Structure 1
């Protein structure tokens, strides 16, 4: 028998555990650090019985400090293992590039140049896969492989594709409608868009995701999207779940002076 779906308004987190789910960071260490300060201040003030901070993937590419973001996440998890990280398509794309320098892959085409720069490496060569361009790309690839700490590779390789807490299912991109949650494919969990977004029915859990940028957090009956294009907009967003209470938490960079509020 198919289990009935659940509506966002009825969904609850696990008893006694406050959840924070942070959207796509894409190299914006300043915003990630600011969000963590906000969360730490709330936890110190409210003293919930327990908590989890769930990062929904895409730590790398596009923004200026991928290296700093990964260092930050490693340190946060070492301090407290309740800081949890999921895999995003860009994180997997970074690993793919480290294995093989595809000139037409996700990494080169969508922000990997900035990722390499954060490790002190300049990559050129583009999509012209021959002659000097090929040599330049291979040279940049070799330099990046040398520059990326093994701890960063280990973290990215260890990332799960989903987590469940209470009535909430956390993943990077979404799920394929009609497929049981435990049978969702990693490819869909980090890449899916339209068929997931447009599904009119309820899901077995509320799907909390990022991957597809929206101007403000998108709260629907069956899902919540907290990817607010932080790397470009300067707005990083999180969903907070505490029992039956649900709310949106934001940190923003002032465009005039890059200060945070």
Structure 2
């Protein structure tokens, strides 16, 4: 089975579409016996077109179940905000303003953080966003698993806690962990393919592969291709933010 894993998208529909076109062309040309395309989470926030990214993923998963999507911390943060508007939460502080704008809702004009605004204004923006986000988007985000395994590879958004069995990893670690995971030099039960922590170039280590190349800002979206013994990096580039 050939497996493609795509790093953090963060509202960059242009790069996601370009990556899918490139992958589709490869599959059409090589005609592997079977294949999967795994998205490692963080579809929303920061970039300009989170709504259309979610629309695209819903449609492509409906068309072919071999397209798989995992949950990222920003996707869960979006759901958390829709449940309860927290002025200090991930959504408001780290790119959710742009997500709201993609749904036609202005929560905070003239800034990137919620600062000096009234609780009433926050609740008004929250109510407008709840009204604007289709139920299909909420259902899609709620449906996302936190990890997948294929062969010798374990796929998740952020990483794993060393020393804990893969099937026992906590949801919190799978979408949030950083230093404890990054600093571990020993082997894991499987090679962990992840995003979450931006790097200028893909990190291909003995025990893990990081393919979050800060697509929303750098204009570079990265994927890892695993095809038997062949492992390589795909890159699509567009405009920088």
Calculate the TM-score normalised by the size of structure 2. Answer: 0.96
| Counterpart-to-counterpart distance in 2, 1:195 and 1:78 | 37
| Counterpart-to-counterpart distance in 1, 2:228 and 2:99 | 38
| Counterpart-to-counterpart distance in 2, 1:80 and 1:235 | 26
Pair 1:138 & 2:118 matched:
no
CA deviation after TM superposition for structure 1 residue 126, in Å: 1.7
State the number of aligned residues. Answer: 237
CA deviation after TM superposition for structure 1 residue 127, in Å: 4.2
Give the superposed CA RMSD: 1.1
Pair 1:164 & 2:164 matched:
no
Alignment match, 1:231: 216
The structure that has the greater radius of gyration is 1
Pair 1:216 & 2:201 matched:
yes
Query: Which residues of structure 1 form unaligned runs of 5+?
Result: 1-16
CA deviation after TM superposition for structure 1 residue 254, in Å: 4.4
Calculate the TM-score normalised by the size of structure 1. Answer: 0.89
| Counterpart-to-counterpart distance in 2, 1:175 and 1:251 | 27
| Counterpart-to-counterpart distance in 2, 1:197 and 1:241 | 21
5 Å-filtered alignment, 1:146-225, equals 146-225=131-210
CA deviation after TM superposition for structure 1 residue 200, in Å: 1.0
CA deviation after TM superposition for structure 1 residue 173, in Å: 0.1
Alignment match, 2:26: 42
Alignment match, 1:5: none
* 4+ aligned runs moved over 3 Å, structure 1: none
Distance 1:235 1:47, change over 3 A: same
Q: Secondary structure at the match of 1:199?
A: coil
- Structure 1 residues 122-171: Cα deviation after superposition (integer angstroms, max 9, x where no partner): 0029244xxx6111110000000000000000000000000000000000
Of the three residues 55, 60, 66, the one matched with 2:39 is: 55
Of the three residues 117, 126, 129, the one matched with 2:114 is: 126
In the alignment, is the contact (CA less than 8 A) between 1:126 and 1:133 conserved in 2?
Answer: no
Query: Which residues of structure 2 form unaligned runs of 5+?
Result: none
CA deviation after TM superposition for structure 1 residue 252, in Å: 0.3
Q: Secondary structure at the match of 1:177?
A: coil
| Counterpart-to-counterpart distance in 2, 1:196 and 1:148 | 34
Alignment match, 2:7: 23
Alignment match, 2:71: 87
Alignment match, 2:90: 106
